[in-house]
Structure 1
Amino acid sequence: MKEVIGQTQTDRRSLGSTTAKWWSKTEGKEKRDMNIDEIRNKEDSTRVQKAVQQPQQGQWTKWDTAIQRSLTWNDIWNMAPLRISFLIKSVYDLLP
C-alpha cells in the first residue's frame, strides 16, 4: 500500500531527507524484516489506542462521583435483612 501512496511526510524533517525501502525491490530476509516491522508497528498503535481508552472506561470506578449516603439507625432497623447483608459486605469488599 505504501508503494501505491508513495512516501509521505509524517514529521518535521524536510522532504527527501529520508530514504524509503520499497517492498517490491527487496528480497529474502530484508522482505521478511519489513513485514515484521509493519506488523509490529500496527500492533503497537493498537496497544497505544487501547491504553488511551482504558482511563476513560474506568471512570465509573472512582469514588469521586459516588453519592454520599447517610444511614440512621431507624433506616437500618427498617431494612430487609438481605439488604443489610449486602450493604455490610459491600463496605468490607466481600461481595462475590
Structure 2
Amino acid sequence: MKATKDKREKFIDQFAEKLKEWNKDLEKLENNLDEEYEELKSEYKGRIKELNRYRDEMETKIEKIEDVSSDRFESIKNDLNKLWDDSINILKSLKAKIKNS
C-alpha cells in the first residue's frame, strides 16, 4: 500500500508542477496578446485618422472644384483621384489585417 501511495503522491506532485508551468506559459501568452492587441489597436487608430484626413481633404477639394478654371479642375481632379486610390489601398490593407488577425 505504501508504494502505491508514494506513486500517487509523486504523480500528483509531478502533475501539479506541470500545471504550474502551464499556467506560466498561459500568462506569458496572454501578456503577449495584450501587447500585440494594443500595438494593432494603435496602428488601426492611426490609419483610421489618416483615412479621416483624406476624406476631409477630398470633401474640401470637391467643394472647390465647382468654381475653378479648367486647368485647376484637372489638377484638383488628379489630386482627388490620388487621394481616393490611397484611401482605398489603406482601407483594403486594414480589412486584410483584421481578417488575418
Taking structure 1 as the reference length, what is the TM-score of the superposition?
A: 0.45
Higher RCO structure, 1 or 2 (CA under 8 Å, sep 6+): 2
Taking structure 2 as the reference length, what is the TM-score of the superposition?
A: 0.44
Give the helix-richer structure, 1 or 2.
2
